[in-house]
Structures are given as structure tokens and as C-alpha cells.
Amino acid sequence: MRTTDTFENVIGKVHQMSLDHYDEIIPVRDIEFDSFYNMTIGGNEFEVLPSALLPIGYGFHSPICPDVQWIFRLKTSITG
């Protein structure tokens, strides 16, 4: 069902919904890839999900820069 609201009310709703959401700028030197599956950001370790790796080899239909091609070949040779 559709309803009509004022722009001011919509902006208020967006602000209310986004109170606990924010972006954080992290210096590049604080980002490290320990492997294709683990990374460290600002001293916190994270798992790299398989879906994050897919665009490197499967999602790009345009030419890939040589560095990315090298990473994909290395990943493929490691994982089989």
C-alpha cells in the first residue's frame, strides 16, 4: 500500500533510521591481507567471505589490470 508523506517527514525518518549507522575512514596502512581468506583492519581480524573473491575472476567482463590478474592466478594456483 502506498502512502503520501512530506519531504520533511521522510528526511526525519531517514535520520532516525541511520542514527546507529556511520562510515569510518581507515588509513590504508591499517589494512592488511593476511591471506585470501583473512585480513586485518585496524588491529581487528576479519574473514574474507568467498563472495568477496568472486568478482576478481568471475564478475569482471572488462579487461582486468595486470596486478589483479596476477592475484587471481596466484589464488587459483593455491586453491586449485
Question: 63 and 42 in one domain?
Answer: no
Question: 56 and 44 in one domain?
Answer: no
12-44 pLDDT, tens digit per residue, is: 999 998 888 878 888 888 888 888 888 898 889
Question: 39 and 55 in one domain?
Answer: no
Question: 32 and 58 in one domain?
Answer: no
- pTM for this prediction: 0.40
Question: 43 and 74 in one domain?
Answer: no
What is the rounded distance in angstroms from the CA atom of residue 44 to the CA atom of residue 79? 25
**Assigned C-alpha cell, 14:** 531517514
> What pLDDT was estimated at residue 11?
92
Nearest to 54 by CA among 77, 80, 76, 78: 76
Question: 1 and 32 in one domain?
Answer: yes
Question: 2 and 41 in one domain?
Answer: yes
Give the total number of structural domains in the chain. Answer: 2
Question: 41 and 8 in one domain?
Answer: yes
What is the rounded distance in angstroms from the CA atom of residue 74 to the CA atom of residue 6? 54
Domain membership of residue 37 as a residue range: 1-48
What per-residue string of b and e applies to 13-24 under the rule 16 or more CB within 10 Å gives b? eeeeeeeeeeee
Question: 54 and 37 in one domain?
Answer: no
